[in-house]
Amino acid sequence: MRIRIAHSPDSDDAFMFYPLTAGVIDTEGLEIEHVLADIETLNQRALEGTYEVSAVSFHAYPYIADKYLVLPSGGSVGDGYGPLVVAREELKSLKGEKVAVPGKLTTAYLVLKLYEPDFEPVVMPFDKVLDAVLSGEVKAGLVIHEGQLSYKDKGLNKVVDLGEWWKESFGLPLPLGGNVVRKDLGKEIIQKIERLMRKSVEYALSHPEEALKYAREYARDIKEDTEKTKKFVSMYVNERTIDYGEDGRRAVRLLLSLGYQRGIIKVPPPEVIFSDEV
């Protein structure tokens, strides 16, 4: 049986999926095909149920909950850190300002709306955000992926770390994205995919140099800096990527609940979210 796994072409996803990509773990009879696309594209395709397994933003999950469950492994969680808002100058407030955002279904956008509801979003590809700030096209930019470590090299200033704000506000880690599995695959295949995802993350974490060598090719503007690549990967592939943990799962539910209460998410979040809770 062929299973398409869609994920972002960035270093943390490359690191955790390396064992499955390289064929170094037993796939239990499943034929795995990898599909690469940026996270906002994956969110949009998940709305249509395109792929059997896909990385998605948690912000998108309530809109796809009829088709997908979240796998217990493979999550990107920031514990006291996360997406950043950066600017050329020091800003006291984002109220009323033009802010470049990497998509309105990204979790980063959801958390920014919780932090400051009144700003003017300018949607663009995530890898264009820093340039838009530098050129003055926008006042500030919402930065995800490796830009969280490279913005200083471009002379930009941090306005707010949304993961830090979330932790201070709610005492919980910030769940940004997860891997979802399509419900129509049935319990047996879903459980097999749960095992494979966990094995892939565990193998990568126990063979970090091997996985990091592969992941560096996807590190974009920090790929020549091994230490920065290693730091970024460790931020989003760690013990919480093996399993969210009780507080991580609680954080997912709180994030979606707050988004719905504030009118950012337009549909109520589902009661059952994780595939191993069915």
Which one, of 174, 193, 180, lies nearest residue 240 by Cα?
A: 174
Residue 35 phi, psi dihedral angles, 5° rounding: -125, 130
- Active-site residue (options: 7, 34, 59, 145): 145
Residue 268 phi, psi dihedral angles, 5° rounding: -65, 140
108 annotated as ligand-binding = yes
Q: Which pair of tokens denotes residue 141?
A: 């930019």
Helical H runs in the chain?
11-22, 39-47, 61-64, 107-115, 129-135, 147-150, 162-170, 187-206, 208-215, 226-236, 239-242, 245-261
Active site residue 207: no
Q: Is 54 helix (H, G, I), strand (E, B) or coil?
A: strand
3-state helix, strand, coil in the chain (%, to 5): 50, 20, 30
107 annotated as ligand-binding = yes
What pairing do the DSSP bridges indicate for beta strands 31-36 and 98-101?
unpaired
Q: Which pair of tokens denotes residue 199?
A: 């094995």
Side chain identity at residue 186, one-letter code: G
Q: How far apart are CA 205 and CA 192, in angstroms?
A: 20
Binding residues for substrate: 107-108
**What positions carry a catalytic annotation?**
145
